[in-house]
Amino acid sequence: MRLRYSFALPLLALSLSGSAQTLNQGNNAPVIGEVFIQHRGTYIDPGAPGTGQSWDFSALQATTTLTSTIQAAASTPNGASFPGATVAASAGGGNYMYMKITSTGLENVGVYGSSTVMAYQNPELLLQYPCALNTTWTDSWSTTFVSGGFPIARAGTTTGLADGVGTVIMPYGTFNNVLRVKLTQQYSDDIGGMATVDYTCTNYYFYLPGTHMALVQTNYLTATTGGSTQTETYAAWLDASNVGITEAQRHAIGMEVFPNPATDQATLVFSSTGGMVALEVTDAMGRLVHSGQVQAHAGIVRHALSLEALSPGLYQVRLIDAAGNQGVQRLVVE
């Protein structure tokens, strides 16, 4: 008996820890009212870990498409069954995935299906915030539910590791400064004391700054019971029309500014392939108040920006490399 209740809803996913590709609640978590179009198709090997990788998903071909809307958990018909959930992602047909989002991470609180209510007694940490290259976590979780008239106790452990940074090649374009997170879920179902099903699910999520859902993900699941093993694999990815995709292509330089707010000086951290990078600072009216050049080496670059000539207020800091790629961040000067 094989029971795997999950939807092709990714771990809807930059602070600073040595890399400009850092996930946090503010720049990565889904927002109520957002609508995501996600395709699903044949599994593609997720490639190698490490820095400076190029992951090629240009051959992706969709077999199904899902439209998911992010709602307040309390606004759904079944929200009361998932205390602690802050948002719910619809999966069509009255199905929802319930999540709790805080500054420390994104948790799976449960799933409501057409015939199953799976509320987690101990939520599952799907993504830890902040998350940068080499961030890792391990979380134990559990849930009990009824399916097909059978009581099922499910318990397991999830381990996450941000294991790579690089470029993702999609059918509709190339995206730089992507952070890859490997999520391994190992869990078992005790089906009324009559049978046990053991699962191992290895997922890779490719997160792009500027979007609130993984750009692409690969899923590899094995389920073993009674000495027999079944396998399920697929890839899922965002449609090019989703909010943030076009802007991410235009603003391809992963960039952070800290501290923010700042007083006398701020540090810019960005990724570069090397060469001269133009620097512009504009005020809240769009007027250019500072310009210069940064000689960048290949890799992660840090540049000190003096703020002594700037009055207190809101500014926009922009970097532009020789290929026209941009990185933009807001900066508050106090």
pLDDT band for position 156 (cuts 50, 70, 90): very high
Residue 229 lies in a domain: yes
Final residue of a structural domain among 245, 275, 291: 245
Average pLDDT over residues 306-314: 92
Distance between CA atoms of residues 279 and 292, nearest Å: 5
149 and 297 in a common domain: no
Residue 306 lies in a domain: yes
134 and 42 in a common domain: yes
Does the structure show a pLDDT above 60 at 12? no
Average pLDDT over residues 227-240: 96
pLDDT at 243: 62
Count of structural domains, the chain: 2
Q: What are phi and psi of 71, to 5 degrees?
A: -125, 160
Distance between CA atoms of residues 334 and 332, nearest Å: 6
pLDDT in tens, 67-121: 999 999 999 999 999 999 999 999 888 899 999 999 999 999 999 987 889 999 9
Residue 95 lies in a domain: yes
Residue of 328, 38, 85, 82 whose CA lies nearest to 205? 38
Which domain does 263 fall in, by range? Answer: 251-333
Final residue of a structural domain among 214, 245, 276: 245
Residue 321 lies in a domain: yes
Whole-number average pLDDT of the chain: 87
pLDDT at 323: 76
pLDDT at 180: 97
295 and 257 in a common domain: yes
More confident residue, 145 or 22: 145
Report if pTM > 0.85.
Answer: no
Does the structure show a pLDDT above 50 at 141? yes
3-state DSSP of the chain: CCCCCCCCCCCCCCCCCCCCCCECHHHHCCCCCCEEEEEEECCCCCCCCEEEEEEECCCCCEEEEEEEEEEEHHHCCCHHHCCCCCEEEECCCCCEEEEEEECCEEEEEEEECCCCEEEEEEEEEEEECCECCCCEEEEEEEEEEEECCEEEEEEEEEEEEEEEEEEEEECCEEEEEEEEEEEEEEEEEEECCCEEEEEEEEEEEEECCCCCCCCEEEEEEEEEECCEEEEEEEEEEECCCCCCHHHHHHCCCCEEEECCCECCEEEEEEEEEEEEEEEEEEECCCCEEEEEEEEEEEEEEEEEEECCCCCCEEEEEEEECCCCCEEEEEEEEC
pLDDT at 298: 76
Residue 5 lies in a domain: no
Most confident by average pLDDT, 2-16, 22-36, 135-149, 268-282? 135-149
Residue 3 lies in a domain: no
* Percent of all residues in the chain with a pLDDT value above 70, rounded to a whole number: 90
294 and 316 in a common domain: yes
295 and 210 in a common domain: no
Average pLDDT over residues 46-68: 94
Final residue of a structural domain among 186, 218, 245: 245
pLDDT in tens, 192-205: 989 999 999 999 99
Residue 184 lies in a domain: yes
271 and 164 in a common domain: no
Q: Domain of 328: which CATH number?
A: 2.60.40.1930
Residue 309 lies in a domain: yes
